[in-house]
Chains A and B, each alone.
Chain A
Amino acid sequence: MRSLLYLCTALAVIGLAAWAYRENHQTQQAMNEQRALEREIVALNDSIRIQRTEWAYLNRPDRLRDLVDVNFERLKLVPITADHFGEIGQIAYPMPEHHSDVVESIEVFGAIEHLSADNSEEDAP
Chain B
Amino acid sequence: MIRTPLRPLARVLKARETGENPDLIERENRRLRQEAERDSARTRAEGRLLALALIFVCAVGVLGARMGLLAATEPVAIARGLAEDISSARAEIVDRQGRVLATNLPTHALYAETRRMVEPGRAAQELARIFPDIDAERMVARFTDPNRRFIWIRTRLSPEQQQAVHDIGEPGLLFGPREMRVYPNGRMAAHVLGGARFGQQGVRAAEVIGMAGAELHFDDRLRDPAQLDQPLQLALDLTVQATVTEVLEGGKRMLSARGATAVLMDVHTGEVISLVSLPDFDPNDRPAPPTEGEPADSPLFNRAVQGYYELGSVMKTFAVAQALDEGHVTPDTMIDTRGPLSWGRFRIRDFRDYGPELSVKDVMVRSSNIGTARIMQEIGAEAQQDFLRKLGLLESMPLELAEAARARPLLPERWSDLSVMTISYGHGMSTSPLALAATYAAMVNGGRKVTPTLVKQNRVPGGEQIISAETSAQIRQMLHQTVQEGTASFARIPGYPVGGKTGSADKPNPQGGGYIKDAVLATFASVFPSHDPRYVLIVTLDEPVDTTGAEPRRTAGWTAVPVSAEITRRVAPLLGLRPVRMDEAESALAVRH
Q: Is the CB of A46 within 8 A of B574?
A: no
- Shortest beta-carbon distance, B244 to chain A, in Å? 11
Q: Is the CB of B494 within 8 A of A82?
A: yes
By a CB distance below 8 angstroms, the chain B residues around A79 are 243, 570
- Shortest beta-carbon distance, B562 to chain A, in Å? 16
Q: Is the CB of B578 within 8 A of A46?
A: no
Chain A residue nearest to B496 in the complex (CB)? A82
- Shortest beta-carbon distance, A52 to chain B, in Å? 6
Q: How far is the CA of A49 from the CA of B494 in the complex (A)?
A: 43
A82-B103 contact in complex given A42-B78, A53-B184, C-beta closer than 8 Å: no
Q: Is the CB of B569 within 8 A of A61?
A: no
Chain A residue nearest to B101 in the complex (CB)? A56
Q: Is the CB of A56 within 8 A of B578?
A: no
* Cross-chain contact of A46 among B106, B239, B493, B572 (Cβ < 8 A): B106
By a CB distance below 8 angstroms, the chain A residues around B185 are 56, 60-62
Q: Can you give 28 contacting A-B residue pairs, CB < 8 Å?
A: A38-B78, A42-B78, A42-B79, A45-B79, A46-B106, A49-B104, A52-B100, A53-B100, A53-B105, A53-B182, A53-B184, A55-B100, A59-B99, A60-B185, A61-B185, A61-B239, A62-B186, A62-B188, A62-B242, A65-B246, A79-B243, A81-B573, A82-B573, A82-B579, A84-B573, A85-B495, A85-B573, A85-B578
A36-59 at interface with B (beta carbon < 8 Å): 38, 41-42, 45-46, 49-50, 52-53, 55-57, 59
A42-B579 contact in complex given A53-B184, A82-B572, C-beta closer than 8 Å: no
By a CB distance below 8 angstroms, the chain A residues around B494 are 82-83
Compute the total of residue contacts between A and B using a CB distance below 8 Å. 69
A80-B100 contact in complex given A42-B80, A60-B185, C-beta closer than 8 Å: no
A15-41 at interface with B (beta carbon < 8 Å): 38, 41
A81-B188 contact in complex given A52-B103, A53-B103, C-beta closer than 8 Å: no
Q: Is the CB of A60 within 8 A of B103?
A: no
Q: Is the CB of A60 within 8 A of B106?
A: no
B248 within 8 A of partner (CB): no
Q: Which 9 A-B pairs have the closest CB atoms?
A: A82-B495, A61-B242, A82-B579, A56-B184, A56-B100, A57-B184, A80-B573, A60-B185, A41-B78
- Shortest beta-carbon distance, B525 to chain A, in Å? 22
Number of interface residues of B (CB under 8 A): 31
- Shortest beta-carbon distance, B551 to chain A, in Å? 32
- Shortest beta-carbon distance, A50 to chain B, in Å? 6
Q: How far is the CA of A60 from the CA of B239 in the complex (A)?
A: 9
Q: Is the CB of B79 within 8 A of A80?
A: no
Q: Mark B267-298, 1 if CB is under 8 A from A, else 0.
A: 00000000000000000000000000000000
B91-107 at interface with A (beta carbon < 8 Å): 99-100, 103-106
A56-B103 contact in complex given A46-B80, A79-B570, A80-B573, C-beta closer than 8 Å: yes
B238 within 8 A of partner (CB): yes
- Shortest beta-carbon distance, B585 to chain A, in Å? 13
Q: How far is the CA of A12 from the CA of B453 in the complex (A)?
A: 67
- Shortest beta-carbon distance, B528 to chain A, in Å? 11
Q: How far is the CA of A55 from the CA of B99 in the complex (A)?
A: 10
- Shortest beta-carbon distance, B234 to chain A, in Å? 14
Q: How far is the CA of A117 from the CA of B124 in the complex (A)?
A: 111
By a CB distance below 8 angstroms, the chain B residues around A65 are 242, 246
By a CB distance below 8 angstroms, the chain B residues around A45 are 78-79
* Cross-chain contact of B186 among A52, A53, A60, A80 (Cβ < 8 A): A60
A60-B188 contact in complex given A46-B80, A52-B103, C-beta closer than 8 Å: yes
- Shortest beta-carbon distance, B217 to chain A, in Å? 22
Q: How far is the CA of A46 from the CA of B89 in the complex (A)?
A: 11
Q: Is the CB of A61 within 8 A of B103?
A: no
Q: Mark B567-589, 1 if CB is under 8 A from A, else 0.
A: 00110111000110000000000
